[in-house]
Structure 1
Amino acid sequence: MSITMQEHTGRTALAEWRRVCAIDDLELSWGEVALLRARQIAVFRIGADEVYAVDHRDPHTAAPVMARGIVGSRGERPTIASPLHKQVYDLGTGECFTDPNLFLQTFRTRIVGGFVEIELGEDA
């Protein structure tokens, strides 16, 4: 299924939603990896209907390890800490709390009919 989305820049980009798995296949506070368009994406179920998706590559080392990171929070913001050097990232925005020079790519998610879907843009 493809849809056209308006980006913040005013450009139109083709976005595609890809079904990954059933929501019940994901354990709470545990990461899994999905392979979409030859790209590894870490998927985390935080609540009953709350799922986040981020690049599986650690921004600091480029190692594919983020799905094995430590899930936590900073106030109301869900986070993931890299399992290698423990940099902490906001799961929703990709902002790094411990090093402002690092950024973790995030992907929009949705649950449709009990299945998790991840939005991929042209660059994914």
Structure 2
Amino acid sequence: MTTAPTTTAPKVQLLLDGDWFTVCDLTALLPGRGVAALLPDGGQAALFRDRHGRLYAIGNRDPFTGAAVLSRGLTGTDRGRPFVASPLLKQRFDLVSGQCLDDPAVRVPAYQVRSAG
């Protein structure tokens, strides 16, 4: 009897302290919708995949309210820059740099992210 080969979904990984850390299966990221991931240091990251398959990861904590909600924000683009708008006060955060587009003095962490496997 033969069995079908087992395939595994590609994994989404973040670069943390020089090592790649697996956070979820790529299939967990639907275009335009965020996913929150717990990090080894107890923090959280908000992960996103756009319609073109590009991956983004920023800190999940909204610096204006302290709530871990950025993964639940709405995504969009501003002059070609992908962003997520906080679901609470609507400030927009650049998904590449973590920079707040509405207050240049504020930013959230931005992580290098990849799909592996």
Q: Same fold (TM over 0.5)?
A: yes
How far 1:47 moved relative to its partner?
3.1
Structure 2: unaligned runs, 5 residues or longer: 1-16
Give the secondary-structure state (helix, strand or coil) at the position aligned to 2:50: strand
Alignment partner, residue 17 of structure 1? 20
Count of residues in correspondence between the two structures: 101
Larger radius of gyration: 2
SS of 1:19's equivalent in the other structure is strand
- Which secondary structure does the structure 2 equivalent of 1:107 belong to? coil
Q: Is the 8 A contact 2:31 2:53 kept in 1?
A: no
Q: Which amino acid aligns with 1:107?
A: Y
The DSSP-based 3-state class of the residue aligned with 1:24 is helix
Q: Which runs of 4+ in 1 moved over 6 A?
A: none
Q: By how many angstroms is 1:31 displaced? A: 0.5
Identity across the alignment (%): 39
Structure 1 counterpart of 2:82: 78
**Unpaired runs of at least 5, structure 1:** 1-13, 114-124
Question: Is 1:89 the counterpart of 2:101 in the alignment?
Answer: no
Q: What is the CA-CA distance between 1:91 and the residue it aligns to?
A: 0.3
Query: Tell me, what secondary structure is at the counterpart of 1:100?
Result: coil
* Counterpart AA for 2:85: A
1:66 to 2:70 alignment = yes
Which residue matches 1:109?
Answer: 113
**Equivalent residue for 1:27?**
30
Task: Report the AA paired with residue 32 of structure 1.
Answer: V
State which of 51, 55, 62 in structure 2 corresponds to 1:51: 55
1:12-42 Cα distance to aligned partner (Å, 9 max, x none):
xx41111112212211100111112122111
CA contact (8 A) 1:49 1:111 kept: no
- More strand per residue: 1
Say whether the 8 Å CA contact 1:88–1:98 is kept in structure 2. yes
| Structure 2 CA distance for aligned equivalents of residues 75 and 23 of structure 1 | 27
